[in-house]
Structure 1
Amino acid sequence: MTADGDPGDDLLGRVFLARVVEPGDDVGGRWVREFGVGEVVRRLRDEGEALPGVSRVRWAGLVARAARAEPERDLEAAQAVGARFVGPRDAEWPRQLDDLGDARPLGLWVRGRPSLRMWALRSVAVVGARACTEYGTHVAATLAGGLAERGWVVVSGGAYGIDGAAHRGALAAHGATVAVLACGIDRSYPRGHTALIARIAEQGLVVGELPPGDHPTPSRFILRNRVIAALTRGTVVVEAAGRSGSLSTARTAQRLGRFAMGVPGPVTSALSAGVHELLRGEATLVTDAAEVIELVGDMGELAPQRRGPVLPRDLLDPAVRAVLAALPGARAAPADEIALGAGTTRDEAIARLYELRALGYVERHGDGWKLTRQAVMSVRAGRDPS
């Protein structure tokens, strides 16, 4: 079988290699690019001449794996759970994964009806700590729900904590979500998320590189994160300690030219320390779905301007505000003194003072003017008199 031959042969070859080569192995990826799928499979199956870039011990280990690979059986196992294998030749393949170069997946196992390629075009990753706080859970669910309501696909890793909250937030909003697993597509990991992953497969997509039956390992979780980063337009980290694996997702996103974003938390929380360190670099601070979409969305999808409430004094003419500011807080003052403080004439100050009296800001005391009690109290409280 060759890279330019029968598409069916290419599919079987990639399924075979997915059982032999670990995810993210750029040496194996280089072999496929330089020699073609068919030649790599032939040498591994026939124990032929070792391919370049590996030791004899490593080659022997790969050959031993190849002897046990049964691609037809893997395809049958996937079909039994409603999954399919998607390779770079397929129309459903998300082209942005090619940005990973030789470390791109040999193919992906996909459970669910929607097209992975179409969903990935408008997707955002929401990731974070497994042992998260109530704050993190709330933020992740709210953020994911807001993205889903606006037509964005929420991608995460299906794990406990922030991942699970993000998936549930998207599902609660009747939106789209994708779980990228670090194990075989026919397994639910963690086991406590069996029902959640089944629901995602029913309403969304469950994706993985590893063949059916394979189990997760610490290194496979880290390597899985590169797929999440490459698949999406940007990655949001909600909570992460200094050594959290979710930080690798954001940093991979940065290297690939995607957006890396972080949600700030309490400065006293160790679970936000990693996010804060990320924000001190090139990541962007975000607080809600609108701010995420402003970064990753199309031109013109701007978040609303953040500002405090508009108070009545904000609507005053600048000259009137200047006269108001010139009034002492605890006593009456003559018009001459107020005019001097406002930088205007006495007649102009008097005219503005009468405007302020009509609005309830000042009152006249003989020849002087004084802030009303309500105005003084509102200034102290940061609000206007009503």
Structure 2
Amino acid sequence: MGAGKASARMAEAVEAEWGPCAGLVITRYGYARPCAGIEIVEAAHPVPDAAGAAATARMLDLLRDLSEDDFVLALISGGASALLTAPAGEITLAEKQAVNAALLASGAPIGQMNLLRKHLSRVKGGQLAAAAYPARMLALMISDVPGDDAAMIGSGPTVGDASTAAEARAILERWGIAAAPSVHAVLATQTGVIAPGDPRLSRVENVIYAAPSQSLAAAAEIGRAAGYTVEILGDALEGEARDVAKGHARMALAGQCPRLLLSGGELTVTRRGDGIGGPNAEYALALAVALEGAAGIHAIACDTDGVDGAAEVAGALIGPDTLIRARSAGLDPATALARNDAHSFFAGLGDQVVPGPTLTNVNDFRAILIEG
């Protein structure tokens, strides 16, 4: 079983080693891979759809009535939160979609988004593993969350969770998320997340085998080999994209050259305007504005899954001439930033990074190259 943007590629790799396997994996539209025995279903991300809901219901059916002699390999990667869709209680798919969309526009950190999602689901927060009990389960994970917390990857379908419905209600209130009465009804009592010590999790092993720190370490090795002093600012950065960019601009303008600043994590955007953007493109735009065309500084900011926000764009590139070329093209960077319209801004310059499906997901990757 599996879900996430990398899960189909993971399933393909499993069959390359083991041969055809029985199973069902849910991935994002465009991210399917050919498998001999494992069925690959494509569904929507970041807002769930009916295809994801139908596939999740089938997955839960397949896990019922297993015995302790059965073995389940769970392939979990980022994106599973939206792709594994089984609304709790009387919540409809449309009501769940509305909550997801509001969360994405709110600026809430990913950890808080996932906590709320768990309490509105019948599959997250350890519930997928509980459905397979007493079968033995090995969950292999690719991390896309700050701190590599297994309980947060894909909202932890195979990992116990100690959070409460009261905490989930507080997130609704803190971020001003409008929700249907059915959502409030589910959160009125402790919901179905599985506590870490629950016996139904006793036969589950969770293993993170790929993580954002590895992408930064690989880039650092290349940077040092090219003669740059490398500073890794962290693989778990969070915060408002434009604010983090301002701080990184100050770092880039100070210190020795040549230098390479690397960072990962999951930044957020509080939606203020009606533009098309994502946290990586907004970071890049805010960085360009803050640098004001400083000589010898180039940067890239991309989501490693190839999708920044809801657009089929990984992120963007900037350089010393970004603002000059923008104004020559009639593009106003300040207006684009105010409207959260970074994707349109970089599309107008031809500076978007559009790799297509990358078939993996180890969170955001940002690099600032200072040549002086």
TM category, shorter:
under 0.3
> Which protein has the bigger strand share?
2
* TM-score, length basis structure 1: 0.24
> Which protein has the bigger helix share?
1
* TM-score, length basis structure 2: 0.24
Query: Which structure is richer in relative contact order (CA contacts within 8 A, separation 6 or more)?
Result: 2
Pair member with larger Rg: 1
